[in-house]
Amino acid sequence: AQSVAQPEDQVNVAEGNPLTVKCTYSVSGNPYLFWYVQYPNRGLQFLLKYITGDNLVKGSYGFEAEFNKSQTSFHLKKPSALVSDSALYFCAVHGGYNKLIFGAGTRLAVHP
Amino acid sequence: SQTIHQWPATLVQPVGSPLSLECTVEGTSNPNLYWYRQAAGRGLQLLFYSVGIGQISSEVPQNLSASRPQDRQFILSSKKLLLSDSGFYLCAWKEGISGNTIYFGEGSWLTVV
């Protein structure tokens, strides 16, 4: 069965420093992988996706993610964090019949 | 461009009362539609999805039901709410055949008292 793991409950980073939010997956076949961001009391916003092609995917707000098939990972990265990046981040994988299976979420806190 | 609307944004209902949350999508045809619930500000659980009018798939047995009376309308209902139905409900959509990205509405907060 398809699954996604986000091993960190929270990530703390200083403003201006690079950030990484980790995600590993378990799927049969080729994965379709996604990152979403959720600000307080809001819906989820799509950030980026990997379907096929280049392993480094660029998305909204300066975020990027690297697909690593050998490590079954899809970590979210940003070179320089902003306080406004503080939010809840979800990794997801297509779970068959166009359904998304989500990780538990990682709370990112960027400190000034 | 496509937009998704979900209402009401906030709802406080007594135990045993009915529920109706509505969601509509504009700017697309034959979308896949989804209802998710988010409890305790974290995990997302898929409740229902629909690939067409009148076609509803339920992911988990529960006190809720869903209906799709029109192509771009998706309704989440309950006849009698339970305390455990409280949570943040999210409607979402995807291009029916060609799309691979699911887009979410702004959510509805339901508090059952």
pLDDT (tens digit per residue) in A54-66: 999 999 999 999 9
Asked whether the predicted pLDDT for residue B112 surpasses 80, the reply is yes
Residues of B in contact with A41 (CB under 8 A): 107, 109
**A100, A92 contact by CB (below 8 A):** yes
pLDDT of residue B96: 78
Q: Give a yes or no: residue B18 inside a domain.
A: yes
The 3-state DSSP class for residue A60 equals helix
Q: State residue A84 phi and psi, 5-degree precision.
A: -70, -10
Q: B103: domain CATH number?
A: 2.60.40.10
- Per the structure, the complete domain to which residue B78 belongs is given by 3-107
Note whether B100 contacts A36, CB cutoff 8 Å.
Answer: no
The 3-state DSSP class for residue B84 equals helix
CA-based nearest residue to A5, from A112, A96, A80, A103: A103
Q: How far apart are the C-alpha atoms of A21 and B49, rounded to whole Å?
A: 29
Which of B 85-104 lie inside 8 A of A, CB atoms?
Answer: 90, 92, 94, 100-104
Find the mean pLDDT for residues B6-28: 96
Nearest to B42 among A42, A46, A104 (CB): A104
Q: Give a yes or no: residue B53 inside a domain.
A: yes
Structural domain count, chain B: 1
Q: Give a yes or no: residue B113 inside a domain.
A: no
Note whether B32 contacts A98, CB cutoff 8 Å.
Answer: yes
DSSP state of B42: S
CATH of A3-111, one of 2.60.40.10, 3.40.50.2300, 1.10.3720.10, 3.30.70.580: 2.60.40.10
CB atoms within 10 A of CB B5: 13
Residues of A in contact with B49 (CB under 8 A): 97-99
Q: Give a yes or no: residue B40 inside a domain.
A: yes
Asked whether the predicted pLDDT for residue A37 surpasses 90, the reply is yes
**B87, B108 contact by CB (below 8 A):** no
Find the mean pLDDT for residues A91-110: 89
